[in-house]
Structure 1
Amino acid sequence: MTRLKGRVTLATVAGSAGVSVATVSKVLNGRSDVSPATRARVQEVLERHGYVGRRPEPVQRDTVELFYQGVVNAYSVEVIQGVVEAGQAAGVDVVLSSHPRHPPTANAAASGRAAPWIRHLVGSGRRAVIGITSELSDADLAALSRARLPLVVIDPANTPEPGVTSVGSTNFAGGMAATQHLLSLGHRRIAYVGGKPTSGCNQARMSGYRSAMESVGAAVPPEYIWLSDFLYDDGLAGGTKLLDLRDRPTAIFAGSDEVALGILEAARARGLRVPEDLSLVGFDDTEVARLASPPLTTVRQPLREMGAVALRTALQLAAGEPVASHHVELATSLIIRGSAAPHGLSSIAAS
């Protein structure tokens, strides 16, 4: 038999196979009420003539919006991976987007209208919304509530509102563990380089640092605190400032691994060795901590699990199910590598 010319339709396939159009349709749809011999004959004709039917209607899947403000970095990649993997396991699609930083106009807030991005979420049929280190206005929160779109925030940029569900880690305990480790190595001039003063996770990490310092009577001069953001350039700027002090710190607790990398570069530029001349502890335990030179001692956040918990919590809220807590904190742990050493190591080595 020769290949049929022109566009191949159900009718032409049926005529070539010597069966009815209904029988061809049954074969295409996997129906069981077709004899094996007839099914084989129809399939042979379909394959030989390259039949392409109409595109089937797409299967509708639940979709969750995941938005992130700022630069995508090592921290956010880990969290995003956790959300996506949990979405795959739950059979849910995750759409990644960036939320505009500018607040809604006064007229929009006064009229009670949802911001354009929230109207888009509603029109797109999103089940829930997850934000990473996001800062939402009261108008945004009110609009999401009116739209009945559940919101879960991971490491909120500000202290979360009582009614906002959030997922984070034990930042206070992590900050205390990092500082206590440096104290146990004999350091007393310990500085902190962290994120924005308004950031809830930064406040908790810095409070843990201060608590550990106070517990041993170690002073925290104002110039030993540098707050900007959790990125490399912020660590470079903070490290430069601290390491140019007359009484420079012998150890620094960095509020993120990327900040620690910036401090490493500031130390290198001044001919200071880590950990011989400066001990350093980071926070997050992202891939960059393991690739740093020396490998970075850091506080591990279970970032992927934080993303997974946020996804599962968002789906619970979307289904109208109760959640055990509106603020979940997962445990941190100190990971010791090679960037912190006993105080005085440099002078000991020199002798």
Structure 2
Amino acid sequence: MPPSPRRATLATVAASAGVSVATVSKVLNGRSDVAPATRSLVQSLLRQHDYVAPSPRRGEPAALGTVELQFDTDINAYSTEIIQGTVMAGAELGVGVVVSIRGSDERTAAWARNLVAAGRRALIAVTSELSTGQLTELSRAQLPLVVIDPLNLPRARVTSIGSTNFAGGFTATQHLLSLGHRRIAYIGGPASAACNQARLHGYRAAMEADGTPVLPGYVQTGHFRYQDGLTGAVAVLDLPHAPTAIFAGSDETAFGVMEAARARGLRIPEDLSIVGFDDTQIAQMASPPLTTVRQPLREMGSVALRTALRVAAGEPIDSHHVELATELIVRGSTAPAA
């Protein structure tokens, strides 16, 4: 068997770049006191050498650094709450948080190596769909991963933070049933998304427990976006037996439902009751204010950061999946059925 190739060190990269080890270390840690041309050269050589930063030894204090908080889609009200909680926790712990959006066309291997080359101690991915290839490359790069609200749950053990989505979906539907609604539709996110499936199952469980059937066409899927609320609401309101209440899988979706209802001349909540999910800041600013299921989004960001740092330091964690409690917040968008 040929001997295994030696792992690249900072000295190896420094010699190739013609700079000091300290300069390479500054690039890895995201320091600003490095000339742009030098930084670009060092980052290129780090990738060429497949440099992987050594993990801290168990029991050693971890050096301060940065954690990547990465989204797969554009920043919205949901994302802002996650960012707020993560950044506040980072400030408390003395750890920098870098927020980014990962392009769908990025090569997996380069994506993982670039994060390591930039000096990231861990990656927090939000509502990401994880492939086996991505998990393999992150493992090879020895980059700890924590996922918030994963869209899928791969067979490999992945550390994740979520909320009690099933309980939230059940409570939201139960609230509408208690108001006398029986024609209740659900407009949610991707059909394959784990968080959407849990909310949908909660909705169906509440309907079944009440002995109320879910009529054909009453379940619509999308991407938790405003446009999904618009198109989903049009679809269900065009049915022969239109719903008197709609449970939306996110606040943003609920706002789309509101707009579709207004376009038809429907009054909220007199003609149509609406419940959202998330309790973002804009839920209180809606007209009328939105009844919604509160996810502790800031706390989810904080817990994700603390968990990622523990994994990066080689410390044991209590559970590979943590669910924080949801809570129904009743406002002005729901009322008794007419």
- CA deviation profile, 1:59-106 (whole Å, cap 9, x unmatched): x841111110112110011001111111111100111112222474xx
- CA deviation profile, 1:27-71 (whole Å, cap 9, x unmatched): xxxxxxxxxxxxxxxxxxxxxxxxxxxx989xx841111110112
Runs of 4+ in 1 over 4 A off after TM superposition: none
SS in 2 for 1:182: helix
Match of 2:166 in 1: 172
Match of 2:257 in 1: 263
**Could you tell me which of 210, 214, 219 is aligned with 2:213?**
219
Following superposition of structure 1 onto structure 2, how do residues 290-301 of structure 1 map, counting pairs within 5 Å? 290-301=284-295
SS in 1 for 2:187: strand
Is the 1:103–1:137 contact (alpha carbons within 8 Å) kept by the matching residues of 2?
A: no
The answer to whether 1:69 aligns with 2:72 is yes
Match of 1:99 in 2: 102
Q: Structure 1 residue 175: deviation in Å?
A: 0.1
**Could you tell me which of 269, 273, 278 is aligned with 1:279?**
273
Q: 2: distance between equivalents of 1:176 and 1:189?
A: 15
Match of 2:120 in 1: 126
Amino acid at match of 2:332: G
- CA deviation profile, 1:139-183 (whole Å, cap 9, x unmatched): 110111111111000001213544100000000000000000000
TM-score (norm 1): 0.77
Is the 1:68–1:133 contact (alpha carbons within 8 Å) kept by the matching residues of 2?
A: yes
Distance verdict in 2 for CA 1:56–1:159, change over 3 Å: closer
Is the 1:250–1:277 contact (alpha carbons within 8 Å) kept by the matching residues of 2?
A: yes
**Could you tell me which of 329, 337, 341 is aligned with 2:331?**
337
Amino acid at match of 2:74: V
Q: 2: distance between equivalents of 1:316 and 1:257?
A: 32
SS in 2 for 1:159: coil
Distance verdict in 2 for CA 1:118–1:56, change over 3 Å: closer
- CA deviation profile, 1:232-283 (whole Å, cap 9, x unmatched): 1110110111112221001000000010000000000000001000011100
Amino acid at match of 2:73: G
Following superposition of structure 1 onto structure 2, how do residues 141-156 of structure 1 map, counting pairs within 5 Å? 141-156=135-150
Q: 2: distance between equivalents of 1:56 and 1:261?
A: 45
Match of 2:42 in 1: none
Identity level (%) = 64
**Could you tell me which of 79, 82, 98 is aligned with 2:82?**
79
Q: Structure 1 residue 287: deviation in Å?
A: 1.1
Q: Structure 1 residue 122: deviation in Å?
A: 1.5
- CA deviation profile, 1:3-30 (whole Å, cap 9, x unmatched): xxxxxxxxxxxxxxxxxxxxxxxxxxxx
TM-score (norm 2): 0.80
Distance verdict in 2 for CA 1:178–1:129, change over 3 Å: same
Task: Give the aligned length.
Answer: 279
Q: CA RMSD in A?
A: 1.6
Unmatched tracts of structure 1, length 5 or more: 1-54, 105-113, 345-351
Is the 1:160–1:166 contact (alpha carbons within 8 Å) kept by the matching residues of 2?
A: no
- CA deviation profile, 1:104-153 (whole Å, cap 9, x unmatched): 4xxxxxxxxx6111111111221111001012221110111111111000
User: Which stretch shifts more, 161-170 or 193-202?
Assistant: 161-170
Match of 1:306 in 2: 300
Match of 1:88 in 2: 91
Q: 2: distance between equivalents of 1:259 and 1:160?
A: 27
Q: 2: distance between equivalents of 1:63 and 1:72?
A: 20
Is the 2:244–2:273 contact (alpha carbons within 8 Å) kept by the matching residues of 1?
A: yes
Q: 2: distance between equivalents of 1:95 and 1:204?
A: 30
Q: 1: distance between equivalents of 2:178 and 2:197?
A: 23
Q: Structure 1 residue 222: deviation in Å?
A: 2.9
Distance verdict in 2 for CA 1:56–1:131, change over 3 Å: closer
Amino acid at match of 1:222: P
Q: 1: distance between equivalents of 2:33 and 2:141?
A: 31
